[in-house]
């Protein structure tokens, strides 16, 4: 059964956040809130966590996982960014965007797109997510909590606990966080390609 933690959306209880970070380090798979919608998350190097996310969401090996980063400096350790892309990404973070970029050697191979050697990265504008990332001290491997054959992500912590009780280890809840996934921008080719229109405004990339 999943452990359920309810924290304040603006002043999350540090003891609870530290507890969840410790569980992540021990291999837990969590459902947690972001600035766009709930997501599934595990520790960066957890092969089991990746397999569990693939199973829950019924994903193939071409799916781009996302590294949810605490800061721009942390993001820069895991992807290659040229000068023009740097300015565009910097101007849109933190926020509800995921950027697909060429990965550095710091990214575990199983996270990379098999052909393009790219990975998704984002910096969320959400107090609870930021608190968790600070406590964890590294990016969170993540994927939108969108179940197979469903059009919208799950949005209520209690419903996630009810429906995923035996397939996740932790549900971290801080109230409603929206239903729209991030906007996805692919910078791995020539220019910006809008892969998914979501919570982030796309006008700056068009």
Q: What is the pLDDT of residues 143-171, one digit of tens each?
A: 999 999 888 888 899 999 999 999 999 99
Q: Structural domain boundaries of the chain? A: 3-205
Report the distance separating Cα 101 and Cα 14, nearest Å: 33
Percentage, residues of the chain above pLDDT 70? 100
Confidence at 102, pLDDT banded by 50, 70, 90: very high
Alpha helix stretches (DSSP H) within 37-156: 47-57, 72-75, 83-91, 127-136
The pLDDT tens digits of the residues spanning 26-84 come to 999 999 999 988 999 999 989 999 999 999 999 987 787 899 999 999 999 999 999 98
Confidence at 90, pLDDT banded by 50, 70, 90: very high
Mean local confidence (pLDDT), 116-124: 94
* pLDDT for position 65: 87
Question: Does the pLDDT at position 115 exceed 90?
Answer: no
Topology (CATH) of 3-205: DHBP synthase (3.90.870)
Straight-line distance from the first to the last Cα atom of the chain, in angstroms, rounded to the nearest whole number? 45
15-41 as b/e, with b when 16 or more CB fall inside 10 Å? Answer: ebbebbbebbeeebbbbbbbbbbbbbb
Q: Write the burial class of residue 112 (CB in 10 Å: 0-12 exposed, 13-18 middle, 19+ buried).
A: middle
Percentage, residues of the chain above pLDDT 90? 80
Q: Which of 132, 111, 121, 101 shows the shortest CA–CA distance to 22?
A: 132
- The answer to whether 50 touches 110, Cβ cutoff 8 Å, is yes
């Amino acid at each position: 059964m999943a452990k359920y933690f309810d924290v304040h959306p603006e002043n999350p209880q540090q003891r609870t956040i530290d507890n969840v970070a410790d569980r992540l380090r021990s291999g837990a798979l969590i459902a947690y809130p972001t600035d766009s919608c709930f997501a599934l998350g595990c520790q960066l190097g957890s092969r089991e966590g990746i397999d569990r996310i693939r199973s829950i969401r019924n994903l193939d090996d071409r799916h781009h996982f996302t590294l949810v980063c605490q800061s721009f400096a942390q993001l820069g350790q895991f992807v290659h960014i040229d000068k023009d892309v740097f300015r565009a990404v910097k101007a849109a973070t933190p926020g509800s965007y995921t950027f697909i970029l060429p990965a550095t050697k710091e990214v575990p191979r199983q996270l990379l797109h098999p052909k393009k050697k790219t990975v998704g990265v984002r910096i969320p504008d959400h107090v609870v997510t930021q608190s968790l990332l600070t406590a964890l001290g590294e990016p969170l491997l993540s994927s939108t909590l969108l179940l197979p054959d469903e059009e919208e992500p799950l949005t209520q912590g209690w419903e996630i606990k009810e429906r995923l009780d035996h397939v996740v280890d932790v549900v971290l809840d801080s109230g409603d966080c929206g239903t729209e996934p991030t906007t996805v921008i692919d910078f791995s080719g020539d220019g910006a390609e809008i892969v998914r229109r979501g919570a982030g405004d796309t006008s700056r990339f068009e």
